[in-house]
């Protein structure tokens, strides 16, 4: 197998990005080893699999007076935008 040929092929196309699900904790060590050899780059991303809507997830995070002030600002900004159009 000509590794240089395949490496050049992937570099010309851009390396593929894969999403995997780790089924066994032993895989983490294997991925870390591959990363230390500069064969892969691990991009850690936590998935929110609750299925919860963002409006529900963040409901009540901002104090109501801050949310009201933001809403007034947004409304004023839209009105100014409409005047300029």
Q: Are 77 and 85 in contact (CB under 8 A)?
A: no
Does 82 have pLDDT greater than 60? yes
Inter-CA distances, 29 with 40, 42, 43, 58, Å: 13, 12, 15, 35
Q: Which residue has the higher pLDDT, 55 or 73?
A: 73
Most confident of 6-10, 11-15, 26-30: 26-30
- Residue 14's H or E segment, with its range, is none
Average pLDDT value for residue range 23-31: 89
């Amino acid at each position: 197998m000509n590794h240089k040929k395949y490496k050049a092929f992937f570099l010309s196309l851009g390396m593929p990005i894969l999403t995997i699900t780790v089924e066994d904790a032993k895989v983490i060590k294997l991925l870390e080893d591959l990363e230390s050899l500069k064969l892969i780059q691990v991009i850690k991303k936590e998935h929110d699999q609750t299925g919860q809507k963002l409006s529900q997830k963040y409901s009540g995070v901002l104090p109501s007076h801050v949310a009201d002030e933001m809403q007034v600002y947004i409304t004023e900004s839209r009105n100014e935008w409409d005047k300029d159009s």
